[in-house]
Structure 1
Amino acid sequence: MMNINFNSDDEDNPIHAALKKFLIDSQIQDLKEAGKFEEAEQLALKHADLDLNAIEQEQLASGSNDENFTPDTVPEQCVSTTFDKYADNFDQHLTKKLHYAVPEIIQDKISKFTEDQFKRLLDLGCGTGLCAEAIGDRALHKTGVDLSEGMLIQADEKQLYDDLYLKDVTEFLGNDWEPRWDLVIAGDTFPYLGALEDAVAGLAKNIEPNGKVIFTTETASDEAFTEKPYVMGSRGRFAHSAHYLRELLEASGFTLVEIEKVTPRFENGEPVQGLVVVAEYKGA
């Protein structure tokens, strides 16, 4: 694995607060379902002063009073710190509590568009390896990249990957890798990136001709994308417009094969609006 240098150690970052709130809410829900109502109440009271909207308005806008301000990305340390703490219970919480469907969604698209076995898979934001498990032997060689060391430890124990890298996915794609990959997936990773120009440009230079990219992200109604083609929700994740994704991929040499609305997970009993995108690289 590769070492990583964090760009920020601001523990008061509002996005860190958003992810922390998600983690706390999950812990409270787990305690309630285990019948530990007193502990759940104590945890809720302990963090009752975590006013996400106030933090977003005061800090996230970077000096602006615009409460709808959307940053371009989630700072690296916010993601790594949160998911390191989440790693041990990640699989169970996603699959049992949030009805996480991303691995199956990606696997279905692979089966729909090709019967071939891929030579090299690149799994961006691989986490504990849920997508690699779903893909199975459809790829001969598997490379996983993630910003959370805790997640990579879990993936390594499953022995799913030939190579694992502890690195920000956009930074990873900024390198020129040889050999390239003929299948790149990003399951529930782009919601933590916001602006995707650098990531898609990196995909283009590290994928083989005719290689396939399959990824999921979250989305919202058209009215949400008035200022930027991506917006941040209350949980600290980004939603992207389908138009933005289509234009960005085509400008980088990809042919859009399919873009479809999906439900990647449920939160508070409600389906999350999502997209799954399949594209093929044809060259700039």
Structure 2
Amino acid sequence: MKNSKKEQETNPVEDFLRHFMIYDHVLDLKETGEFNGAADHLLNLLGQGCSENLEETIDLPRAKANSENLDSMPAEYVSALFDQKAKIFDIKLLEILQYSLPTKIHEKINTLNLGPFKRLLDLGCGTGLAAELFEDRIPYKTGVDIFEQMLNLARDKRIYDDLQQCEINDFLDQDHPQKWDLILASELFPYFGSLEDLFAGVARNIEKNGVFLFSAEAVMEPTSDTPPYIMSDSCRFTHTENYLRNLLKQFDFAVIDFTQTTLRQECENPVLGHLVVARYMPA
């Protein structure tokens, strides 16, 4: 029987969630002593490909619908992705998706001999994976995320001096008594298409000569007609290098380093992106 187009398509976000839930069940069974059941579920996890659909397991909002009109990811979509199984998020991200961006950020700052820094602002901090590596190096650390369960996990780690549950642009629009000399935005841009407001907010809240370090998933093989950002098949925004460079220039950031790198793995394929380090140098 011929498969429909929908059945043939692969959604790596759904694949991530499906494996996420299976692995969580494995851990639950192991904790209760059901080792045979845990082994069966783990074999199920390892044996499944990326074509299996998750719709029967979880009701994941479809951000892909009308994606041409989206400037950012709908909050309910991101909430479904991160809030449901936050307790094993770190394990899934590091082991299943081979997520190494926090280490690359730390290595980049060391290689470029940046710092020392006094105040870190971690935008979209999640459970604190990026900030963990700076635990003893930066005296004051602020984390911002919209999802309560992620912030609860970050709070348990005692990495941050201040944690704020807030939408990113809303936080950057607020009046803060002090600015930050290092602002991180790792794995944040895929949930925003248009980045003008975010860059403007970062410029308002960063100290002169402060460092802005961010990652962005790359638009592959762009042409002169390629729009600045595109929603990928995995329901995440990708951005062109030209768009990012133009924004840096527009908001008075001087590029220190602009590198293409592998951000993580999806269905055993590398996800390529940009890792960018820039210094705020207003006139």
TM class, shorter-chain normalised?
Answer: 0.7 to 0.9
1:24 matched to 2:30? The reply is no
Aligned to 1:71: 70
Distance 1:203 1:48 in 2: 41
Aligned to 2:90: 91
CA gap of 1:223–1:282, structure 2 versus 1, over 3 A, is closer
1:21 deviates by 6.1
Distance 1:113 1:177 in 2: 29
CA gap of 1:158–1:31, structure 2 versus 1, over 3 A, is closer
1:1-284 paired onto structure 2 within 5 Å = 22-28=16-22, 34-36=39-41, 47=55, 59-61=65-67, 69=68, 71-223=70-222, 226-283=225-282
Distance 1:46 1:267 in 2: 16
Does the aligned pair in 1 maintain the 2:63–2:74 contact within 8 Å?
A: no
Secondary structure of the corresponding residue to residue 248 of structure 1: helix
Distance 2:55 2:25 in 1: 15
CA gap of 1:75–1:253, structure 2 versus 1, over 3 A, is same
Distance 2:247 2:90 in 1: 32
TM-score by length of 2: 0.81
Does the aligned pair in 1 maintain the 2:14–2:54 contact within 8 Å?
A: no
> RMSD over aligned Cα, in angstroms?
3.0
Aligned to 2:32: none
Give me the identity figure in percent: 39
Does the aligned pair in 2 maintain the 1:117–1:140 contact within 8 Å?
A: no
Unaligned runs of 5+ in 1: 1-16, 62-68
Distance 2:18 2:114 in 1: 42
Across the two proteins, how many residue pairs are aligned to each other?
Answer: 256
